[in-house]
Amino acid sequence: MIVDNFVDWKGIWVFIEQEEGCVTEVSFELLAAARQLSRKRGSAEVGAVLLGHHIKPLADELLVYGADRVFLADHPSLAKYLVLSYTRVISDLINQKKPEIFLLPATSLGADLAARLAARVNTGLSAHCTQLDINGQGELMQVVPAFGGKVMATILCPKHRPQMATVRPGVFRRGEAREGKGTIEDLPVEIKAEDLKQKVIEVHWERRPAQTIEEAEVVVAGGAGIGNPEGWKWLERLAEALHGAVGGTRPPLDEGWISEEQMIGQSGKTIRPKLYIGIGISGVIQHVVGIQDANVIIAINNDSNAAIFQSADLGAVADFRKIVPLLVEELRKRSNGG
C-alpha cells in the first residue's frame, strides 16, 4: 500500500519533448513505458505533458500512442524550450493535479528540465534509468547503472511525490497505434516576469544522419582495438555493405572517429538492432548495457579473453583486418548479383 499521505497522488505522466512540431521518438517510448507501469498500478491514467505553440495536432497523435489524457500548454512564450518558463508551467500543474509518477527523457533537454523541476516540487530524481518496474508496495523501482556500470542499482522514492525519473532513449519501444480515445485538457499559461530572464538568441541545426544507431536494424561498432583511422574505414565499409549504421565506444569518440550521437553504452545510446557486430571491443559493462537487447550479437576480437564474447551469440577470435575486408567483398558481390 502507498503511504496515506500520498493517497491523492494518482496517474503516471510523461513529459513530451518536441521540437518544431515534431515529437521525439523517446517520448513515444516513454508513453509505452507508462502504459506498462499503468497495468501494474491498477490501470492508472497515463498523462502526457505537452508544451509549445501551435502544437494541437501533436496532442491527437499522443492519444493514439498511449496517452489517456494530454495536458496541453499552448502559448507563444513556450514556442522554444526555456527551462524557467517550462518549469513554472509544469510545477504548477504537478502541484494542482498530483501525478504519482513523472517520467522524462534522458536527453540534454530532459536532464536540464528534470533537475530543476524536481527541486521546485521538492522530490527525488533518478537519472538515466535503464529499467522501470513497480514493487509490491506500489513504488516505482528505478534501475540505473552505478559504480561505473559494474552494478545495477534500484532506487526508490518512498517519502516524496511525484516519483521522478529520466529514462534513456532506446530502453523501451514505441507502442502500437490504437484508436485515439482520450482527453485533451487545455491549460491556462501564467508566465511570470522572473521566468522570462532567458531568451533564445540563435538556433543551430546539425544535419541528422540518414540512419541513426537507435533506428538501424544493423549496427557495426568499433572500439579501441581498431587502432587507427584506416582500420576504422573498414568498419564504415562493412556498415555500408550491410545497409547499417556505425557506432562505437569511448576511445573512437576521443579519437574523433565518431560523434557523441554514435557512442553506445552507459554514457551513450541504448540500441536494439536485429544485428550488432562489435569489432575490437573489449566488452566492459559500460558498453554492454547499451547492446544487451540486440537480437543477435557478433564479436570479432583477437583477444580470446575479451569480455565481449560472454555477451556474443557468435564470436571470432581473429584480427579484424583479415576478416572484415573479406566480408565486405562478399557482401558487395552478392548485392551486385555475383
User: Domain check: are 177 and 72 in the same one?
Assistant: yes
Neighbours of 183 (CB within 10 A): 13
User: Domain check: are 262 and 146 in the same one?
Assistant: no
**For residue 223, what are the domain limits?**
218-335
The answer to whether residue 202 sits within a structural domain is: no
Whether the CB-CB separation of 133 and 41 falls below 8 Å is answered with: no
pLDDT (tens digit per residue) in 142-187: 888 766 556 678 888 888 899 999 998 888 888 887 876 888 998 8
The answer to whether residue 189 sits within a structural domain is: yes
CATH of the domain at 166: 3.40.50.620
Q: Is 211 exposed, middle or buried (0-12, 13-18, 19+ CB in 10 A)?
A: middle
Number of domain units in the chain: 2
pLDDT (tens digit per residue) in 241-259: 999 999 999 889 888 898 8
DSSP single-letter state for residue 104? E
| Among candidate residues 165, 196, 227, the one where a domain is terminated | 196
Whether the CB-CB separation of 88 and 192 falls below 8 Å is answered with: yes
User: Domain check: are 328 and 275 in the same one?
Assistant: yes
Quote the pTM value.
0.75
pLDDT (tens digit per residue) in 269-316: 888 899 999 999 998 888 888 888 899 999 999 999 998 999 999 999
pLDDT (tens digit per residue) in 187-231: 888 877 777 777 777 777 666 666 788 888 999 999 989 989 999
User: Domain check: are 95 and 163 in the same one?
Assistant: yes
User: Domain check: are 184 and 324 in the same one?
Assistant: no
| Predicted pLDDT of residue 196 | 74
> Cell numbers at residue 182, please?
482520450
DSSP single-letter state for residue 5? G
The answer to whether residue 330 sits within a structural domain is: yes
User: Domain check: are 152 and 292 in the same one?
Assistant: no
| Among candidate residues 196, 230, 259, the one where a domain is terminated | 196
User: Domain check: are 16 and 139 in the same one?
Assistant: yes
**Stretch 41-63: mean pLDDT:** 90
The answer to whether residue 301 sits within a structural domain is: yes
User: Domain check: are 162 and 230 in the same one?
Assistant: no
The answer to whether residue 293 sits within a structural domain is: yes
User: Domain check: are 94 and 189 in the same one?
Assistant: yes
The answer to whether residue 203 sits within a structural domain is: no
User: Domain check: are 174 and 229 in the same one?
Assistant: no
User: Domain check: are 69 and 164 in the same one?
Assistant: yes
| Among candidate residues 132, 161, 196, the one where a domain is terminated | 196
Whether the CB-CB separation of 210 and 91 falls below 8 Å is answered with: no
CATH of the domain at 247: 3.40.50.1220
The answer to whether residue 211 sits within a structural domain is: no
**Sole residue written with cell 568499433:** 222
The answer to whether residue 97 sits within a structural domain is: yes
User: Domain check: are 115 and 250 in the same one?
Assistant: no
User: Across-strand partners of 72?
Assistant: 50, 186
| Residues with Cβ within 8 Å of residue 95, at least 6 apart in sequence | 121
